Structure 1
């Protein structure tokens, strides 16, 4: 999932941060959603947002 997909799903950076128990600033600093946070978001959203699987060459 992308950062923008997660923000869009929750409605705002603040709402995403609150759902994850993080500060607004912590989420704002992400260039991409950290892998472990992706798993947390997948669980919270009951699979509406899915973890991006790494590309294997």
Structure 2
């Protein structure tokens, strides 16, 4: 799940943090692909409007790394 998609859904980082019950710093520290546990939470909170994509979290996948 991509950070930009999540933030766009909720409106901004502050609203995202509030909706998920996490700190603003937690959201700001997310990489391009957010950690899987938050992705699962986002899917639950959005009632599936944003889907968890297991392919982004496969062990051999480099998505979510800081490499640009």
Instruction: State the TM-score, normalized to the length of structure 2.
Output: 0.75
Structure 2 gaps of 5+ residues are 61-68
- Quote how far apart the aligned CAs of 1:20 are: 1.2
Instruction: State the TM-score, normalized to the length of structure 1.
Output: 0.87
Q: How many residues align?
A: 57
- Quote how far apart the aligned CAs of 1:2 are: 0.4
Tell me how large the CA RMSD over aligned residues is: 1.7
Instruction: State the 4+ residue runs in structure 1 displaced beyond 2 angstroms.
Output: 54-57
What SS does the aligned partner of 1:54 have?
Answer: helix
Larger radius of gyration: 2
Report what 2:46 is aligned to: 45
Aligned equivalents of 2:5, 2:12: Cα separation in 1: 10
